[in-house]
Amino acid sequence: MRRLASAVTAAAAAIATITLTAAPAAAIPPNIPSAATAADRLAALTVAAESHHSTYDRDLFPHWTTVSGACNTREQVLKRDGTGVVVNSSCAAVSGSWYSPYDGATWTAASDVDIDHMVPLAEAWSSGAWSWSTSRRQSFANDLGGPQLWAVTDNVNQAKSDQDPSTWQPPRTAERCRYARAWIQVKWYWGLSTDSAEKAALSGMLSTC
């Protein structure tokens, strides 16, 4: 009996160790195409130089709008892409953990996490969103149905800023294939153009898939 109890205790300890050391679960936004589909969609994008950048204003893209109850888009992404997320009555995350696929870091404070627009708002503006209605720009800035919104490490998001893949790619090289597929999907779905340097960078990233 003692031998059996010892075996059970050892097995339980092993399971506990596995649980503690397992890699964090990564919640990834929906509707990221395969590499082959992304390549087809990249080929279908209009290639054009960016324009109207001097008239960009972030306020032209109303964002973090209410999704339901007290929850806005940022809070919804934190709940969607976190693990064990607990929110208060205002829908603010008070505990949980978030895995940032761009750099492989895991955070346990929501204040360390930014919600990245895969295609930055300024990039969208210069790629065709300057001609959209405010309503369409609001839908773009709060798009939960595709791979536009990502929970990532705040300073990584700030380093990315408004850059496209020709000048910024995720520091974690293993993420670059998926990043390119997501970027292409957003541009394709929303009918935005790509410039030649951006298209070349995306093609290179897809070649790593």
pLDDT in tens, the chain (209 residues): 334 333 333 433 332 222 222 334 458 999 999 999 999 999 999 999 999 999 999 999 999 999 999 999 999 999 999 999 999 999 999 999 999 999 999 999 999 999 999 999 999 999 999 999 999 999 999 999 999 999 999 999 999 999 999 999 999 999 999 999 999 999 999 999 999 999 999 999 999 99
Residue spans of the domains in the chain: they are 26-206
Residues near 98 by Cβ (< 8 Å), separated by ≥ 6?
A: 78, 81, 82, 83, 106, 107, 108, 110, 112, 113, 151
Note whether 144 and 151 are within 8 A (CB): no
What pLDDT sits at residue 27? 81
What pLDDT sits at residue 5? 39
**Strand pairing report for 71-72 and 82-87:** unpaired
What CA–CA distance (Å, rounded) separates 202 from 183?
A: 8
